[in-house]
A and B are shown apart, each in its own frame.
Chain A
Amino acid sequence: MSSERLAAWVWVTLWATWSFAARGFCAEALALHSWVPDFGLALLVMLCARAPREDLPWLALVFGFARVAVSIDPPVASLAVAFGAVALARALRGIVDAQRLLPRALLTFVIVLGAELWLTLAHFARLRDEALAALGGTPELALPSVFATAARAAAATALFVLAFGGALAYLPGLTPLWRERPWRVGASSR
């Protein structure tokens, strides 16, 4: 691995950690948690659209680690989100042009929606019986409300991708991931 690519992976790791943390930072500062975009998953989808196919599992691992580092969600659930997002993006990037903003925003919407619902499910799976019984009778935590919260986060992230998705590719340090071997990137997009 060239030093330029190694540096790019270090940058990816840093940006992944910062982007997941930024969501928590903004959410607590603004007190509008469900309307804050998931910057981390938006960045991951952008990278999945551009990076060579053989790099995708490493991207999943890096983003999974980054989320585990900053979130109190169960570590295996965070890893599952990263792996699942990459698997979906990998499957769909052969069908739609995920480098264009609109398809990427739609793909991000689906991934963030799925991730939010999955993390909620994983959280509930680890609660004690009496906690589940208590939460079961709470309107804010009933299925429609959970779905609405997830949909808000997904919509906010999709809008973020539409507005700033183009700029994500120009974050410092990332371009060597796909600039170094353009012919392989072209070959791996199908």
Chain B
Amino acid sequence: MGGSRGRTAFLVALCGCAWLSLRPDARVEAWIDVGLAPARALAEALAPWRWMRLRSVRAAEAELAAKVDGEIAQRRALHEAERAAALPTEPQLSFGRRFVHAEVVGRRPEHFDQLEVRLDSATCDGIEPGMPVCSGDAYVGRVVEIDVPETGRAWIELATARRFAVGARIETDGTREEVRCVVGGLASMSRADSGRLFLSVTAPSARVLPQALARVDERLSPLARFAAEADGFRLGMPEPGGDGEWVLRPLVDFSSGLYQLCIVAPADIAREPDRELADELGDKRWAEARVISIGEPSARRDGFELALGSWQGAQDGAALVVGARLLGKIVHAGALSSDARRLGDPGGSVHALARIEGRAAPVVLGRIVSLGRDEEGALLFHWPAPLGIPGAAGERVRATLFTGAGEPLVPRGLLLGEAELPTGVGPHRVRVESADERFSIGHVRVRLGPPPPPDAKKQDPQATGEPESESDSEADSEADSEPKERKP
């Protein structure tokens, strides 16, 4: 370290790297990525090591290729079951209505309580802001904007949004009068990090609410244009929330468990019969990428380097797929290469759902977080299970796990593995047996982002990013662009 200038530069570099390690700054790191682009060439120096394992790579790839047809058939069956489960089961909820399937794409940037969905037929014909949205028999929110951020997509505001309000009635056994109330927003006892969300409920006419199902009822509201369509959908079960407050335990996992929804429209809307959207696995937004590392030097990490960087379209959070199974995600897209984490990398997470043996409807698991691998190489996941799977205490059910929708760069229905799921409300630790061999992958398919819109300035630059904040405090700033509140 010759001279004081050299020493100073060295110390600045050391302190700068140390600071950025703990306080990441995306803009600075983007410049560092450009500076580190030559590191991509260094990884090519590992070619002799890669040749050493070429045989095992080919064997593993042949084995995976042989399973692809079966996995794709599983994926199709799962999707049909998911779509069927998104429709209401109660006959009175289906009568006189038309249901338009909407698949969740992700959260609206900076608006955690709004979902971006893509509609069947890729068109919003006949859909209007204010239409109710359901998941099975459960009411989840309303359409707030259509054909945004692109044609055939819409934003849905969830019942958890701070300014959301929907009229409701709590049905009783018939001996007492039903209780009317207003439901909307999160109750103060909600805990977003554990996925335990409760809806706030206000009932001016009753201090104690009956322990019975709350259903949507907006018949008394002159402003509710789609009161008839929303009527009767389930909201949740009332519970005492402490300090005299009453809350509603929702029937769906609002934090990360909404994948396939239905927009409830009048039966006579002007809309052609719907066509199902094309399978994402078959579209053109994929790039083949070579695995260029031969193992992860960090003892606690599980991943590899890919010969595909942001300059070739790779993005943080993009899925890595072999056949129809998810291998991992890109954790950091550098300029010419990317860091990819496998499912066994601690802290990685994925939206999941389970197909349980003997049950037709898939079970939404929500976001599960990887805890690493056990001694036998099986994946361990933390599953918050705010709703859980109904069953006897201690019972376990055999299930096949797949990815759910709701992550912009991770297609739904990718195989994760087999697991025995515990029943009851969580949190649970789930052991997933995956066929992914840690040592044998040579190539993966990487999910690419959508093509840039023609007029990029009108689009939100982070439209495909994951939400950074779980707060809806920013939502108020766009109140003018959204429909007014409708309170009964």
Contact of A135 among B13, B40, B49, B371 (CB under 8 A): B371
The answer to whether B293 and A70 have CB atoms under 8 Å apart is yes
The answer to whether A125 and B301 have CB atoms under 8 Å apart is no
The answer to whether A122 and B22 have CB atoms under 8 Å apart is yes
The answer to whether A53 and B2 have CB atoms under 8 Å apart is yes
* CB neighbours of B267 from chain A (8 A): none
CB distance from A178 to the nearest CB of B (A): 16
A28-B438, A69-B40, A70-B305 given as contacts; is B297 within 8 A of A23 (CB)?
yes
Most buried by A among B332, B349, B382: B382
The answer to whether A140 and B371 have CB atoms under 8 Å apart is yes
Q: Is A131 at the interface (CB under 8 A from chain B)?
A: yes
Contact of A138 among B43, B45, B49, B371 (CB under 8 A): B371
Stretch at the interface among B30-38, B413-421, B474-482: B30-38
The answer to whether B297 and A153 have CB atoms under 8 Å apart is no
A28-B438, A124-B347, A130-B367 given as contacts; is B10 within 8 A of A72 (CB)?
no
Bound Cα distance from A116 to B334, whole angstroms: 23
Bound Cα distance from A171 to B349, whole angstroms: 42
* B-contacting residues, A89-139, CB 8 Å: 90, 116, 118-135, 137-138
Q: Is A65 at the interface (CB under 8 A from chain B)?
A: yes
Residue of A nearest to B349 (CB): A131
Contact code string B2-45 (vs A, CB < 8 Å = 1, else 0): 10001001110110111011111000010011001011101101
CB distance from A92 to the nearest CB of B (A): 14
Q: Is A165 at the interface (CB under 8 A from chain B)?
A: no
The answer to whether B371 and A14 have CB atoms under 8 Å apart is no
Bound Cα distance from A69 to B43, whole angstroms: 5
* CB neighbours of A71 from chain B (8 A): 293, 296-298, 301, 305, 339
Contact of A83 among B17, B29, B39, B345 (CB under 8 A): B17
* CB neighbours of A141 from chain B (8 A): 346, 371-372
The answer to whether B10 and A83 have CB atoms under 8 Å apart is yes
* CB neighbours of A25 from chain B (8 A): 49, 294-295
Using C-beta atoms within 8 Å of the partner chain, give the interface range for chain B.
35 or more
* CB neighbours of A60 from chain B (8 A): 10
* CB neighbours of B334 from chain A (8 A): 75
Count of interface residues, chain A, beta-carbon cutoff 8 Å:
71
- A interface, over-half SS: helix
A72-B331, A121-B22, A141-B346 given as contacts; is B46 within 8 A of A65 (CB)?
no
Bound Cα distance from A129 to B467, whole angstroms: 11
Bound Cα distance from A23 to B294, whole angstroms: 9
Q: Is A79 at the interface (CB under 8 A from chain B)?
A: yes
Bound Cα distance from A43 to B99, whole angstroms: 65
* CB neighbours of A123 from chain B (8 A): 298, 300-301, 346-347
Bound Cα distance from A27 to B439, whole angstroms: 10
The answer to whether A116 and B305 have CB atoms under 8 Å apart is no
A69-B42, A69-B305, A135-B347 given as contacts; is B1 within 8 A of A90 (CB)?
yes
Contact code string A17-29 (vs B, CB < 8 Å = 1, else 0): 1101111111111
* CB neighbours of B348 from chain A (8 A): 131
CB distance from B97 to the nearest CB of A (A): 35
* A-contacting residues, B419-435, CB 8 Å: 427
* CB neighbours of B1 from chain A (8 A): 53-54, 56-57, 90
The answer to whether A73 and B2 have CB atoms under 8 Å apart is no
The answer to whether B42 and A17 have CB atoms under 8 Å apart is yes
The answer to whether B332 and A75 have CB atoms under 8 Å apart is yes
The answer to whether A83 and B349 have CB atoms under 8 Å apart is no
The answer to whether A72 and B296 have CB atoms under 8 Å apart is yes
* CB neighbours of A17 from chain B (8 A): 42-43, 45-46
* CB neighbours of A124 from chain B (8 A): 347
The answer to whether A72 and B298 have CB atoms under 8 Å apart is yes
The answer to whether B36 and A73 have CB atoms under 8 Å apart is no
* B-contacting residues, A24-56, CB 8 Å: 24-29, 31, 33-34, 36, 38, 40, 53-54, 56
The answer to whether A27 and B21 have CB atoms under 8 Å apart is no
The answer to whether B346 and A33 have CB atoms under 8 Å apart is no
Bound Cα distance from A134 to B346, whole angstroms: 10
- What are some 25 contacts across the A-B interface (CB < 8 A)? A17-B43, A25-B295, A28-B295, A29-B295, A65-B42, A66-B39, A69-B43, A69-B337, A70-B43, A71-B293, A71-B339, A72-B341, A76-B29, A79-B13, A80-B18, A116-B298, A125-B24, A130-B367, A131-B347, A131-B348, A132-B347, A134-B369, A135-B382, A141-B371, A146-B300
Nearest 9 A/B pairs, CB to CB: A24-B295, A134-B382, A80-B17, A72-B339, A69-B42, A72-B303, A134-B369, A54-B2, A83-B14
- Other A-B pairs beyond A72-B341, A118-B21, A124-B347, 19, CB < 8 Å: A21-B49, A21-B295, A27-B296, A65-B38, A65-B39, A68-B39, A72-B301, A75-B32, A75-B33, A76-B17, A80-B21, A83-B10, A87-B11, A130-B192, A131-B347, A135-B346, A138-B382, A140-B371, A141-B346
